[in-house]
Amino acid sequence: MEVKDLKVSLSPGEAADTVERALEQSVSMVRLDEYCVRAADGEVVMRLFEKYYIRAGNRVTLTLLAHNVGGVTHVHLAAGGGGNGAIFRFDWGAGENFAELAENALRQYMLE
């Protein structure tokens, strides 16, 4: 499982859209779910993506959770699910790659 936490200069919705546009370059990527909550003090966006990786022989998921409660947009990325078998969860780097695709899409907007 690969996890990344970022701060960006975009709104949560813009961050999610930016990541999704980058991930859409892959033919096997699909958005499985989306959930959004808007309130007076901020916005929370969750998107769940799935992509097939030949090297893992399986589908890998990427969960994006973005919020700007407190003023700054935080983006949490978690990729996993690409391992084969009941005991071993080794995914041949597929989860790391999926998370890096999302991180690279946001790189120009990162703070700190």
How confident is the model at residue 55, as a pLDDT? 63
Tell me the pLDDT tens digit for each residue of 48-90: 999 887 766 678 889 999 999 989 999 999 998 755 655 555 5
CATH class label, 2-109: alpha beta
Q: Do 6 and 110 touch, CB atoms closer than 8 A?
A: yes
43: enclosing H helix or E strand: strand 42-53
| 69 to 2, 7, 28, 103: CA distances (angstroms) | 24, 12, 33, 21
Tell me the pLDDT tens digit for each residue of 92-109: 567 778 899 999 999 999
Q: Read off the pTM.
A: 0.87
How confident is the model at residue 14, as a pLDDT? 98
Domain locations along the chain: 2-109
| 9 to 13, 83, 106, 108: CA distances (angstroms) | 12, 34, 9, 9
Pick the closest to residue 2 from 66, 60, 72, 80 (CA basis): 80
How confident is the model at residue 59, as a pLDDT? 81
